Amino acid sequence: MHSYNPAAIEKKWQTYWLQHQTFKTPTDRSKPKYYVLDMFPYPSGSGLHVGHPEGYTATDIIARYKRMMGFNVLHPMGWDAFGLPAEQYAVKTGTHPSITTEHNIKRFREQLQAIGFSYDWDREINTTDPNYFKWTQWIFLKLYEMGLAYEDEVAVNWCPELGTVLANEEVIDGKSEIGGYPVVRRPMRQWILKITAYAERLLQDLDDLDWPESLKDMQRNWIGKSVGAEIDFKIQEYDSEQIRVFTTRPDTLFGVTYMVLAPEHHLVDKITSEQQRSAVHEYVKNAATKSDLDRQELSKEKTGVWTGAFAIHPVTNKQISIWIADYVLVSYGTGAIMAVPAQDERDWEFAEAFDLPIVRTVQPEEGFTGKAYTGDGLAINSEFLNGMGVDEAKNTMIQWLEDNRVGSKAINYKLRDWLFSRQRYWGEPFPILHTDKGVIPLSEDQLPLELPVVDRYQPTGDGEPPLANATQWVYTIDPATGKPAKRETNTMPQWAGSCWYYLRYISPDWEGGPVDPDYESYWMPVDLYVGGAEHAVLHLLYARFWHKVLFDLGVVSTKEPFQKLVNQGMILGEVEYTAAKKNGEWIPVDYADEATDRIRLSDEDVEKKGDHFVIKGTSIRIEARAHKMSKSRGNVINPDQIIEKFGADSLRLYEMFMGPLEQVKPWSTKGVDGVNRFLHRAWRLLVNEEDGKLKSTICEIEPTKEQLKVLHAAIKKVSQDIETMRFNTAISALMIFVNEANTWSQIPKAVCQNFVQILSPFAPHISEELWMKLGHHESLAYQEWPAFDEQHLTDDEIMYPVQINGKVRAELFVPAGLSMDKQYVIENAKALEKIQGYLEGGRLVKEIFVPMRIVNLVIAPQ
RNA sequence: GGGGAUGUGGUGGAACUGGUAGACACGCUUGGCUUAGAACCAAGUGCCGCAAGGCGUGGGGGUUCGACUCCCUCCAUCCCUACCA
């Protein structure tokens, strides 16, 4: 028997591709280029899951299609291999992270190769390879030289369990993103990157990118630009000090009834009165030891303390009490606010809690019953602003502030500078020496600075990073002066390596810089970048930042790295039916609480009733839902098992057939069955299962009109759908072709060849095998993509649905030559027997004719 | 609280710029092949109805000859984010 056997042919072609270097990136530059990039994975110990191949299959289809379209394609893969899991494993077992990492990479590489991705493995990169991180360190040195990297003592998110500092983004609800351990605030010396210096460009340049609008919005939101004014308030009895506030509502200045400083504000100590000192001190101390989680939980109720001091209103010269409260953040704006309770909800709450005055300065719209009014309206109680709308009042007030030198127009960003150091071992060491003369960067020829061998990976007892244990490495001499120096013991965060990896693929062995400028100008920008939405802000923002810095340095020639970006949707586990049982009785799942047992049911025990699923034969509602795959839920699908059972081509096909790439969708192993059957049918269409040779029905004959139509319809649909990344409907077009072709008694060989070509990006192994059976001796990877010819798609006869009042009542067939003739079509439509009946029952008032689409006759009752 | 996305058969999903709703696939039903099963092949399958026919794209309203598609409004689910002055 020679039936379709993926296990045999897939291994064979994977070996063939590797041995023949089929997917080696061309170095000539005579053709148009296409750079298609995947987000490289962290090689975790648990191996690939089915989420990875989703985006990877999509880009692989594009890469294979573009090669056949005559493009030079760069389609690389690598490893984001620094990271916490390998280090935690090292802490537990003493195994060096590089060993774990190497082992995991090997597994990942094998898994990816088993799916038949057309990566150029000669360009594989690894962020932990000294030849790679040499240039990560080099870029850091450039950032340092440009004044974009600085050290500061900052309150950081310290996670005692992990023994490390986390970035704001790695802290979720006051707990660490990894592990869910508590996080507290603690001041520490840290390296910081001045991403805020690029805030405006990062914001502006989003406009020209071919990215999903929702994702651009997320970045805009994250950067969070707001326009307003900075205003200086004098402090009573302290002539030398002023409090500067940032506000987006300078028009409400007359409504200021108090001021608030963040507890960490530098003036707090100075201006606090003797009577208030102990209360203020207590409050500040509390705020400092509170973790973010505590602050959030307690935030439902506004807290604060009066400092005992007063500020002077810059216009009215009235005195205003100065408070401290933790609802004001030291890290945003100036760390101080002017409170306008009448027009700000947070200020209103605070004013209510502490019985502070409230003065409306914007007339709320009629019928307004709320508290703070943040809408538009005319200014009141505001002297020279009275009667103006919000916008006009803002401008007028800013002008007044500038004329009187007490304030000015100002712009603020939510975006903070990027906390760039971690108290970890398994990361890039900073190429930095600390000496008694301060910080000295290493010179380029001293790179890469490699990690020392250590025997323990834990932080030191006093919270110093693990590298502090490597005293021989830490205590060194400054080669320039010969004087003692101390190495930086922090390492870079995982983001560092992924900030520029797309450049290294272009010239992975280039020694003159991060990227060979000659090839950089050819391959950049990345034409298509596909990855998960979870990187929407962090990775993509950081990489854009570094790219812009490299652009300013002249290292790269484009101002943005990723021209087009697509987020694949998450793949959920199989749909689960869950019923609830309380005290041994089934209860509707809506009433379930903690005391309820949740019982998983199989799909045979449930049925749909109205909007809901119920236990079969009852009306007891159950929950029908697909959940995120997770180890703890036990619903993780392993691609290896799918490949073993159905083959890699079926896995690829199913990943794409599930639905639109961007959408969240549940896995269904039954669905894999469906695409697997399709491949079997395709195989049997061409192959005689007795002898494994080409079927005798495949002959060198001229295709019929019908066959050309079916073929070209498929070519057209598949081509267009690949271009627009609608792979699910492309596969359905391939299925339709096979279903049709199965009814033909003879199939022209040329038609078969074209079919195999358009199948090949999706299911490359079976396609190569069929291509060979069709008599070819080389891979079809570079065969020219078939062009479709519109003329084959025309019919002799056109069918018009005929509607009466918008409802289809009959079908009319007209010769193609007369299909655009309105009069002819309408006359014949009216002549249809079924239509006659309707015409007699009413009065024809309107005739709608849409060429090639529809006829609609509008009839009014007699 | 803010931002984003989604809602179509029993299920995943199709439907181009408003023009036959449900392509393709899963599941299911019936029949064939088979000792039997699997696989395969054939036919059927939105709902109600014996039928004629009617009803149908989360609910309600609107625009239009015609609405899954456009507008208003409400509801549900998911994701991101959160005291950002």
How far, CA to CA in Å, does A231 sit from each of A373, A399, A402, A735?
22, 12, 10, 68
Interior CA angle at A190 toward A187 and A196, to 5°?
A: 105
Q: Measured from the CB, is A731 under 7 Å from any atom of strand B? A: yes
Residue A724 is predicted with a pLDDT of 93
Question: pLDDT digit string (tens) for A389-445?
Answer: 888 999 999 999 999 999 999 998 888 888 888 888 999 999 999 998 889 999 999
| Å from the A726 CA to the B70 C1' | 24
**A97-114 vs A84-93: helix axis angle to the nearest 10?**
130
Question: pLDDT digit string (tens) for A606-617?
Answer: 877 777 788 877
Q: What would you report as the CA-atom Rg of chain A, rounded to the nearest whole angstrom?
A: 34
* Distance from C-alpha of A782 to C-alpha of A262, rounded to nearest angstrom: 64
* Distance from C-alpha of A361 to C-alpha of A822, rounded to nearest angstrom: 66
Token digits for A392?
């006009």
Residue A77 is predicted with a pLDDT of 97
* Distance from C-alpha of A463 to C-alpha of A563, rounded to nearest angstrom: 43
| pLDDT over threshold 70, residue A357 | yes
Contact A285, A364 (CB under 8 A): no
| Å from the A737 CA to the B41 C1' | 18
User: Which residues are bridge partners to A73 per DSSP?
Assistant: A34
Residue A585 is predicted with a pLDDT of 81
Q: Residue A291: pLDDT band by 50, 70, 90 thresholds?
A: low
| Å from the A229 CA to the B78 C1' | 38
CB count within 10 Å of CB A694 equals 17
Q: Measured from the CB, is A458 under 7 Å from any atom of strand B? A: no
Tokens 């079916």 -> residue: A710
Q: How long is chain A?
A: 862
Contact A41, A501 (CB under 8 A): no
Nearest nucleotide (CA of A218 to C1'): B3
| Å from the A118 CA to the B82 C1' | 42
Lowest-pLDDT choice from A337-341, A376-380, A568-572, A620-624: A620-624
Q: Residue A643: pLDDT band by 50, 70, 90 thresholds?
A: very high
A846, A850, A853, A858 alpha-carbon torsion, rounded to 10°: -10
Q: Measured from the CB, is A717 under 7 Å from any atom of strand B? A: no
**What CATH number is given for A663-792 in this structure?**
1.10.730.10
Cα–Cα nearest to A166, from A183, A153, A149: A183
A248 SS3 class: coil
The secondary structure of residue A594, as a DSSP letter, is T
Cα–Cα nearest to A554, from A193, A148, A203, A142: A142
Q: Measured from the CB, is A411 under 7 Å from any atom of strand B? A: no
| Å from the A836 CA to the B53 C1' | 18
> Tell me, what amino acid is at A568?
Q
Q: Residue A81: pLDDT band by 50, 70, 90 thresholds?
A: very high
How far, CA to CA in Å, does A538 sit from each of A360, A369, A395?
40, 41, 35
Give CA A127 to chain center in angstroms: 21
Interior CA angle at A613 toward A611 and A619, to 5°?
A: 95
| pLDDT over threshold 90, residue A253 | yes
| Å from the A375 CA to the B80 C1' | 26
| pLDDT over threshold 60, residue A299 | no
* Distance from C-alpha of A77 to C-alpha of A589, rounded to nearest angstrom: 45
C-alpha torsion sign, points A100, A106, A107, A112: positive
Q: Does domain A225-412 have CATH number 3.60.20.10?
A: no
Question: pLDDT digit string (tens) for A173-202?
Answer: 566 666 667 767 777 788 999 999 999 999
Contact A478, A440 (CB under 8 A): yes
Tell me which residues from 534 to 563 on chain A have a beta carbon below 7 angstroms from nucleic acid strand B.
Answer: 534, 536-537
Q: What's the CATH architecture for A30-148+414-568?
A: 3-Layer(aba) Sandwich (3.40)
Q: Measured from the CB, is A298 under 7 Å from any atom of strand B? A: yes
| Torsion-angle region of A797 (φ positive above 0: left; ψ -120 to 50: alpha; else: beta) | beta
Residue A292 is predicted with a pLDDT of 52
Q: Residue A581: pLDDT band by 50, 70, 90 thresholds?
A: confident
CB count within 10 Å of CB A407 equals 23
Mean predicted confidence (pLDDT) in A440-453: 92
Residue A22 is predicted with a pLDDT of 96
Q: Measured from the CB, is A671 under 7 Å from any atom of strand B? A: yes
Residue A575 is predicted with a pLDDT of 87
Nearest nucleotide (CA of A246 to C1'): B85
C-alpha torsion sign, points A721, A726, A728, A729: negative
Q: Residue A63: pLDDT band by 50, 70, 90 thresholds?
A: very high
A691 or A155: which carries more pLDDT confidence? A691
Strands (E), A533-594: 565-568, 571-582, 585-587
Mean predicted confidence (pLDDT) in A541-557: 95
Mean predicted confidence (pLDDT) in A63-91: 93
Tell me which residues from 606 to 645 on chain A have a beta carbon below 7 angstroms from nucleic acid strand B.
Answer: 608, 628
- What number of CA atoms fall less than 13 Å from residue A304's CA on the CB side? 30
Residue A368 is predicted with a pLDDT of 74
A585 or A850: which carries more pLDDT confidence? A850
Contact A134, A154 (CB under 8 A): no
* Distance from C-alpha of A780 to C-alpha of A770, rounded to nearest angstrom: 10
| pLDDT over threshold 60, residue A169 | no
A586 SS3 class: strand
Residue A170 is predicted with a pLDDT of 63
Q: Measured from the CB, is A668 under 7 Å from any atom of strand B? A: yes
CB count within 10 Å of CB A284 equals 20
Residue nearest to nucleotide B5 (CA to C1'): A214
| Å from the A670 CA to the B35 C1' | 29
Residue A295 is predicted with a pLDDT of 57
The residue extents of the domains of chain A are 30-148+414-568, 225-412, 575-636, 663-792, 795-861
Contact A852, A819 (CB under 8 A): yes
Residue A234 is predicted with a pLDDT of 92
* Distance from C-alpha of A517 to C-alpha of A507, rounded to nearest angstrom: 9
Mean predicted confidence (pLDDT) in A130-139: 96
| Å from the A483 CA to the B72 C1' | 76
| pLDDT over threshold 90, residue A480 | no
- Looking at every residue in chain A, the average pLDDT score rounds to 88
Mean predicted confidence (pLDDT) in A53-67: 96
Mean predicted confidence (pLDDT) in A102-126: 96
Write out which nucleotides of chain B lie closer than 7 A to a protein Cβ: 2-6, 10-16, 19-21, 23-27, 39-42, 65-67, 78-85
* Distance from C-alpha of A381 to C-alpha of A386, rounded to nearest angstrom: 7
How far, CA to CA in Å, does A118 sit from each of A30, A242, A503?
21, 64, 19
| pLDDT over threshold 80, residue A687 | yes
CB count within 10 Å of CB A482 equals 8
Fold equal for A30-148+414-568 and A795-861: no
Contact A166, A173 (CB under 8 A): no
Task: Give backbone dihedrals phi and psi of A131, rounded to 5 degrees, phi first.
Answer: -70, -25
Contact A498, A127 (CB under 8 A): yes
Mean predicted confidence (pLDDT) in A845-860: 87
Residue A586 is predicted with a pLDDT of 82
CB count within 10 Å of CB A832 equals 17
A755, A760, A765, A766 alpha-carbon torsion, rounded to 10°: -20
Nearest nucleotide (CA of A673 to C1'): B26
Q: Measured from the CB, is A328 under 7 Å from any atom of strand B? A: yes
| Å from the A104 CA to the B81 C1' | 34
Token digits for A760?
């090949």
Residue A604 is predicted with a pLDDT of 75
Q: Does domain A795-861 have CATH number 3.10.20.590?
A: yes
Q: Residue A167: pLDDT band by 50, 70, 90 thresholds?
A: low
Contacts of A90 (CB under 8 A, 6+ apart): A96, A97, A100, A425, A426, A457
| pLDDT over threshold 80, residue A489 | yes
Residue A321 is predicted with a pLDDT of 94
* Distance from C-alpha of A423 to C-alpha of A401, rounded to nearest angstrom: 46
Residue A749 is predicted with a pLDDT of 94
Mean predicted confidence (pLDDT) in A137-149: 95
| pLDDT over threshold 80, residue A171 | no
Question: pLDDT digit string (tens) for A801-849?
Answer: 888 888 888 888 888 888 888 889 898 888 888 888 888 877 888 888 9
CB count within 10 Å of CB A651 equals 27
A523 or A188: which carries more pLDDT confidence? A523
